[in-house]
Amino acid sequence: MKKISLLLFASILIGIAAFKAAEFPETEIGNGIIKAKLYLPDAEKAYYRGTRFDWSGVVPSLEYKGHTYFGQWNQAPYDPMLHDAIMGPVEEFTPLGFDEAKVGDKFVKIGVGVLGKTDDKKYSFATVYPLKNNGKWTVKPGKDQVEYTHELTDDLGYGYVYKKTLKLVKGKPELVLEHSLKNTGTKAIETSTYNHNFFMIDKEPSNENIRIVFPFDVKGEGKGFGDIINAKDKTLSYTREVVKGDQVFSSGLQGFGTTSKDYDIRIENTKTKAGVRITSDRPLEKIVYWACPTTSCPEPYVRLSAQPGQEIRWKINYEFYTF
C-alpha cells in the first residue's frame, strides 16, 4: 500500500511539473525548411524572468534537416530568475546609468527594464537585481516570425522603444534577428550588446567534434586556452572534452578588423556534419568566448549609440547548413 501511495504521489508531482511547463507562453514558427519553438516574455509566467538577458528571443529548440541546434544546456535546478535559465541565440545589453547610481538608486537594462542597485559593488550579471519597472511588452507572433516590442519610460531620463523580430527567411535555411532601438528619453544611450549563442548542435558535448571558425587568424588567451582549447590559424578547436570543473573562457579573442566582414563566425559539429554561420551588418567591438560541458559560445559584441530622438538599426543573420 505504501509503495502504491508513493507511486501515486510521484505521478502527481510529474503531472504538476508537466502542467507548469505547459504554462510558459510560447509559439512556434516555420518556413518549410526550419522549425523552431520560442518562449515569450511575460512578467509572471515566462520561462525566463531574470535580469541579465533581453527577455525576447528565447529559443528552446530549432531543427533543420533532422539536426537540432539549441536546448537546455544548463544542468542546475530550474529557476526563472536564474541567469542561466535561458536558451538559444539570446542577447544582453550592458547597463545604462549603473556606475553613477548610488545604492538604492535605479539603472536600466534594455530588454529587461528599470532595476535597483543593491550594493556598491561593480555590476555583476550573476546578481538578480530587483525589477522596479518592467516597461510594456507587445508580442506579435506569425507563421514564420515573431515581433517583440519593449517600451520603457522612467524618471531616470532613459527611455526607449526596442523592437526585435526573429524571422525565418522564405525558401532559405536562415534565421534573421532584426533590431531597432529608438531613444525616447532625455539622456543619450551608450551601450554594447552581444549574443551569447548557446548552441548545442545535435546535443554534442564541447569536445574535439566541435570547432569554431573565423574569417581571420584568431588569437586567444584565458582559462583553458593552450590546454583544453587551441586557437590556431582561423579555428578554435578542442584537445579534449570539456568536463565538469573545467574553465574555458577568454575575455577577448583577437585578430578581427574594423569592418562588419569579420563578424562572420561558424560553429560546426564535425561528427554529424551540421553547422551554422553567424554574420551581422555591424563591426565587432570584441569577442568573448565561453564553454562548459554542454555548450560552446562565441559571444560577439557590437557598440550602440543613440542620441535622444534617434533610432538605430542592426541585424544578425544565422545560416544553417550541412557539409
Q: Is residue 11 part of a domain?
A: no
Q: Is residue 265 part of a domain?
A: yes
Domain that holds residue 244: 27-322
Q: Is residue 90 part of a domain?
A: yes
pLDDT in tens, the chain (323 residues): 444 444 444 443 444 444 344 489 999 999 999 999 999 999 999 999 999 999 999 999 999 999 999 999 999 999 999 999 999 999 999 999 999 999 999 999 999 999 999 999 999 999 999 999 999 999 999 999 999 999 999 999 999 999 999 999 999 999 999 999 999 999 999 999 999 999 999 999 999 999 999 999 999 999 999 999 999 999 999 999 999 999 999 999 999 999 999 999 999 999 999 999 999 999 999 999 999 999 999 999 999 999 999 999 999 999 999 99
Q: Is residue 15 part of a domain?
A: no
Q: Is residue 22 part of a domain?
A: no
Q: CA-to-CA distance for 277 and 67, rounded, in angstroms? A: 15
Q: Looking at residue 28, what DSSP letter applies? A: E
Total domains, the chain? 1
Asked whether 167 and 145 are in contact (CB, 8 A), the reply is yes
Q: Is residue 310 part of a domain?
A: yes
Q: Is residue 21 part of a domain?
A: no
Beta bridge partners of 107: 115
> What pTM value is reported for the model?
0.92
CA nearest neighbour of 117 among 78, 171, 156: 156
Q: Residue 308 is part of a domain; what is its CATH number?
A: 2.70.98.10
Q: CA-to-CA distance for 229 and 205, rounded, in angstroms? A: 14
Q: Is residue 219 part of a domain?
A: yes
